[in-house]
Amino acid sequence: MLIFSLMLAFAAPQPPPSSPPQSSPPQSSPPRAPVEADAEALQDALRSMPPRADAEAWAEAAAAARLQARQFTATYPNDTRGLEADASLSMAMSDDDGVDAAFAALMALAPEKTSGGLAWAEYWAARDTARSVHVLERLLDDRPDARLYMKSLFQLLSQTEIQRLHDRMQKHAAPDADLDRAALELDMLARTVPPLAAIHGFNILQAHPDHLDLRIATARGLRHANRFADARRMLEAIEPPLQDPGHVYLWSDVCYADHDFVRALRLLESIDLEAIETSRPGLHRRLNFMLPVRREAVDSWPDELVLRASEAKRGANPLARMQIEGQEVMVELFEDTAPNTVANFIAAADLGIFDGYEAGQVHTGFRTIMGGRHDGDGLPTWTIPDEHESMEARPIVSGSLVAYRTSRPASGDTEFFVLHFPAPHLNTLRTTFGRVLSGLDVIRGMEQGDEVDSIEILRRREHAYDPTVLDEAGVEMRLSELLQAR
């Protein structure tokens, strides 16, 4: 837990002083202050604890060390080190009352030590979530600006008492609500439970439509919930146009999500980097990374659009229809640029591998992984060679279908993922083998546990789709050979 690192650090041994020159007379060290001597003695007691496997000896040593920590606190009541050791030992001893007493005293003495408060809440989260909620609410009452407490509280409530979170946010729609507090909590909700932020943001804005920070927080919730177009409409309706660098960055993001790369770049370029270098170093670092990426997108996107138009005119690319929770998604497959990966996808669809299985992982704002193999399907396992090194590179953007693989070469099989948001960091590193033609909103709206009902190939070329695969021993062969040999 977090508090252990604090406890171990408070009296860490210092490096020995460098030896004086031989010609100099020996220097006597100044006497140590009593508090430091007592702190080191406490640290020695903690270091000399017997192993937990010797339960009786450990319990005796822990009780003695905790008594020593409490004596340290009684002697030096304004020094947190005794309370930190007390709290840590009480957690290890599973002494609930001791944990509460030590942490309550520690947070009263040093409320800025949020790592201690989080450790207190974490202790109770493993035992009694209602009590953990109580701890976090108490900490927030004392430190209403502590975003880490707020984040932990919202995450815990979303998992255990969602109605309580709804009730908390509903209060912000009252006519006499503290709007700065409402904006702060709505912004944190947008970063932890984005769909709720969008719902409550619209609700609060009905009562307070002109509050800028509330509108920004609602737009942030929409963005993090994959509702990029809704977020963009909200941001573009704000008058006068946004000027705060963080708000402009959010605006650029939602333009970028739906491939308005020129607008996204212009917005980023409007931010004065020099002005935020020291005042907002995190944003400054992100911008320095994103600017060249977005310039590259502006340069490469026209070529991709020309290629897409040419493919549409020829009408030769295979098409597939995905049914996801009863909703349709139409997909085009890039057979010319990734022929073997496309053949593997079509063969897997023909074998029914994709049908009736839930999505592997949904990473909102990034991708949804699909197509994983399940035990008991009666088919042999295989992997496929990579094509990203030999293929004509296609940008990985929103709606791209990309072959999933590990860090090892030729480790992909039937898994693939669909992008919610452009991922240029994967360009040329993964095989892009298709794109969503319609229904991207269905992909973006997926939740963990949603099922792919079926994938049906609607159009294919006039040849067999028999991909080159590798069996479990790494032997290369055609899929038909592997299936026949099972």
* pLDDT tens digits along 146-195: 999 999 999 999 999 999 999 999 999 999 999 999 999 999 999 999 99
Find tokens 């009684």 and name the residue: 74
Tens digits of residue pLDDT in 195-223: 999 999 999 999 999 999 999 999 999 99
Residue 1: pLDDT over 80: no
Helices (H), 161-211: 162-170, 179-192, 194-207
Q: pLDDT above 70 covers what percent of the chain? A: 93
Per residue in 62-77, pLDDT (tens digit) is 999 999 999 999 999 9
Indicate if the alpha-carbon torsion angle 217, 220, 226, 231 is positive or negative: positive
Local structure of residue 22 (DSSP, 8 states): T
| pLDDT tens digits for range 330-350 | 999 999 999 999 999 999 999
Instruction: Tell me the average pLDDT across 107-136.
Output: 96
Model pLDDT, residue 428: 84
Q: Tell me: pLDDT of 9 over 60.
A: no
What value does the mean pLDDT take over residues 269-285?
96
Give me the pLDDT at residue 30, please.
58
**pLDDT tier, 31 (very low <50, low <70, confident <90, very high otherwise):** low
Which amino acid is located at 139 in the chain?
A: L
pLDDT > 50? residue 14: no
| pLDDT tens, residue by residue, 420-456 | 999 988 888 899 999 999 999 999 999 999 999 999 9
The CA–CA distances, whole Å, from 176 to 196, 207, 208, 216, 234 equal 22, 10, 10, 20, 24
| Res. 10: pLDDT tops 50 | no
Length of the chain in residues, anyone? 486
Q: Which contacts of 245-253 are long-range, i.e. CB under 8 A and separated by 24 or more positions? A: 245/271, 245/272, 245/275, 245/276, 245/280, 245/283, 246/280, 246/283, 247/216, 249/283, 249/286, 249/287, 250/216, 250/219, 250/220, 250/223, 252/294, 253/223, 253/228
What's residue 11's pLDDT? Answer: 39
Measured distance CA(139)–CA(363) in Å, rounded: 31
What share of the chain in percent tops pLDDT 90? 85
pLDDT score of 26: 55
pLDDT of 6 > 50? The answer is no
pLDDT of residue 316: 95
**pLDDT (tens digit per residue) in 75-101:** 999 999 999 999 999 999 999 999 999
Structural contact between residues 370 and 354, judged by C-beta atoms closer than 8 angstroms: yes
pLDDT given at position 12: 39
Q: Which residue has the tokens 């919730």?
A: 221
Q: Does the structure show a pLDDT above 60 at 353?
A: yes
Residue 378's pLDDT is 84
- In the predicted structure, residue 380 carries a pLDDT above the cut 80: yes
Asked if pLDDT for residue 288 goes beyond 90, the answer is: yes
Q: What letter would DSSP give residue 317?
A: S
Give the model's pLDDT for residue 392: 72
Provide the token pair at 225: 């919930």
Buried-state track 11-44, b at ≥16 Cβ within 10 A, e below 16: beeeeeeeeeeeeeeeeeeeeeeeeeebbeebbe
Q: In this predicted structure, what is the pLDDT of residue 32? A: 59
Q: How high is the pLDDT of residue 427?
A: 87
Residue 403: predicted pLDDT: 95
pLDDT at 2: 42
Q: Has residue 3 got a pLDDT over 70? A: no
Give the pLDDT of residue 282: 95
Q: Is 267 left (phi over 0), alpha (psi -120 to 50) or beta?
A: alpha
The Cα–Cα gap between 46 and 130 comes to: 32
